[in-house]
């Protein structure tokens, strides 16, 4: 991956692209929403389909010359149906947020009511945050996790639904380490005759592999992004029953988007094919085991974890008791300096701003793709603890940098 042809045209861009490959090779990607896709997925995303306009859907486009675009989109759709067992799939959303937008546009009117998890408690901007169109177009109320246990307060959610009478209840989260009980959210939505949108952006791969309960067939709509745990081309996806197909498809195009990103849809098709191979279940199980080991290692070193542990691909460390003088952004910055890339994250009951935050979120999908197992995750956990325990200590930083580099060298990313 030396980008020779880019270099001939644009050396500055080639330097940046090559620099990014080297950055990924030489650092530990622990942002819970990231992964390392295969070179096959990257090749598909870099294919000639980037040139093609294909507004419409397979077999019914507004432009000529769409036969290969049709083939690729149909492959992505059929594979997604097989992976998640959905009746209807739309693979055109450009991102997870665009997928959610498709559902809201299809099913809500401006002013309608959304009940969703607070961003500080693990929710997502596109679930009703004031800075997002959802917070501006709709009336939003938010539920929370129980601050003592860190688990979703399903009873509180049910009561809140009865008081607020939402049009749609949103489940599925960005920084929630525990298995989501979609049936309980559905019961709350049913009680007030609301729709249920399950946004499984983070756990698409875990659900496809059967290591997390599936909301397909439970919730009215299931959305996700396609480049996180499912490890395919970058973008979003919507799944629903056949009865809602004619609501969803026109809401995505022409409702919220123009031409589909056919090269990304090709990446989705190829990544979904890979996820249908037998090894993918082992990968997903390893992602969860690795997160458990990471969490246990941090707890053994005195860190507090929101909910005490994890059932998924991520842990959320709450530094307030263990490291009261270290903010999430202090930890993020110190860890990045030694090659561990993760993000500061708010925690339930947060008092600091989201830019500073009191926690860090760490995920295992990318490291697991690199071949990391429990032994490596113990080492990674020890590196994180050594740095956060000794912020600013240059000797510790130099020593941990070497340990991180050794781990990276032992697990090369690309040929
Ligand atoms: N940016 C993603 C995350 O990190 O969770 C969500 O869109």
Prediction pTM value: 0.97
Domain 281-410 fold = 3.90.1150
Indicate whether 74 pLDDT > 90: yes
- b/e burial code for range 35-74 (CB count within 10 A of at least 16 → b): bbbbeebbebbebebeebbbbbbbeebeeeebeebbebbe
Same fold, 43-275 and 281-410: no
Q: What percent of the chain has pLDDT over 70?
A: 100
Please choose from 30, 33, 236 the residue to mutate so as to test ligand 1's pocket, defined by most ligand atoms within 8 A of CB: 33
Q: Is the CB of 56 under 6 A from ligand 1?
A: no
**Residue 126 Cα: closest atom of ligand 1:** 7
Q: How many Å lie between the centroid of ligand 1 and the Cα of residue 260? A: 21
Q: Is the pLDDT of residue 262 over 90?
A: yes
Between the alpha carbon of residue 14 and those of residues 5, 43, 49, 255, 337, the distances in Å are 9, 17, 22, 36, 24
At residue 415 the predicted structure's pLDDT band, cuts being 50, 70 and 90, is confident
Decide whether any atom of ligand 1 lies within 6 Å of the 92 Cβ.
Answer: no
Buried b / exposed e along 376-392 (16+ C-beta atoms within 10 A): bbbbbbbbbbbbbeebe
What is the three-class DSSP state of 312? Answer: coil
Burial of 187 (0-12, 13-18, 19+ CB in 10 A): middle
Give the nearest ligand 1 atom to 175 CA. Answer: 5
Q: Residue ranges per domain, the chain?
A: 43-275, 281-410
pLDDT in tens, 357-410: 999 999 999 999 999 999 999 999 999 999 999 999 999 999 999 999 999 999
363 Cβ closer than 6 Å to some ligand 1 atom: no
Cβ of 102 less than 6 Å from ligand 1: no
Spatial CB neighbours of 303, under 8 Å, sequence gap ≥ 6:
317, 318, 319, 322, 323, 385, 388
CATH architecture, domain defined by 43-275: 3-Layer(aba) Sandwich (3.40)
Beta partners for residue 359, in sequence order: 318, 345
User: Is pLDDT above 90 for 238?
Assistant: yes
């Amino acid at each position: 991956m030396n980008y020779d042809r880019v270099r001939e045209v644009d050396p500055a861009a080639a330097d940046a692209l090559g620099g990014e490959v080297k950055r990924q090779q030489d650092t530990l990607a622990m942002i819970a929403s990231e992964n390392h896709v295969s070179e096959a997925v990257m090749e598909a995303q870099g294919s000639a389909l980037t040139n093609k306009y294909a507004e419409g859907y397979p077999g019914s486009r507004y432009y000529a010359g769409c036969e290969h675009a049709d083939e690729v989109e149909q492959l992505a759709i059929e594979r997604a149906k097989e992976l998640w067992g959905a009746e209807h799939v739309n693979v055109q959303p450009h991102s997870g947020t665009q997928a959610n937008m498709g559902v809201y546009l299809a099913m809500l009117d401006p002013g309608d009511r959304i009940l969703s998890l607070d961003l500080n408690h693990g929710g997502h901007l596109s679930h009703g945050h004031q800075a997002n169109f959802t917070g501006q177009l709709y009336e939003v109320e938010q539920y929370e996790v129980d601050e003592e246990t860190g688990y979703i307060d399903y009873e509180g959610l049910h009561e809140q639904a009865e008081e607020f009478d939402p049009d749609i209840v949103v489940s599925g989260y960005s920084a929630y380490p525990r298995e989501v009980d979609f049936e309980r959210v559905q019961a709350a939505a049913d009680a007030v005759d609301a729709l249920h949108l399950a946004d499984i952006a983070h756990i698409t791969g875990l659900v496809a592999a059967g290591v997390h309960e599936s909301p397909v067939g439970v919730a009215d709509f299931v959305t996700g992004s396609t480049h996180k745990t499912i490890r395919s081309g970058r973008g979003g996806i919507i799944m629903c029953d056949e009865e809602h197909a004619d609501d969803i498809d026109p809401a995505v195009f022409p409702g919220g988007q123009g031409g589909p990103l056919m090269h990304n849809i090709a990446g989705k098709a190829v990544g979904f094919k890979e996820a249908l191979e037998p090894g993918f279940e082992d990968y997903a199980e390893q992602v969860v085991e690795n997160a458990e080991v990471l969490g246990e290692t941090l707890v053994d070193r005195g860190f507090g974890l929101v909910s005490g542990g994890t059932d998924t691909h991520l842990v959320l460390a709450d530094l307030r008791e263990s490291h009261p003088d270290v903010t999430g952004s202090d930890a993020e910055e110190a860890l990045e300096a030694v090659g561990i890339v993760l993000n500061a994250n708010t925690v339930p009951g947060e008092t600091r701003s989201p830019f500073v935050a009191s926690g860090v979120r760490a995920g295992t999908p990318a490291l697991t793709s690199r071949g990391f197992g429990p032994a490596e995750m113990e080492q990674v956990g020890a590196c994180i603890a050594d740095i956060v325990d000794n912020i600013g200590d240059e000797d510790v930083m130099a020593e941990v940098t070497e340990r991180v580099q050794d781990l990276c060298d032992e697990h090369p990313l690309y040929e």
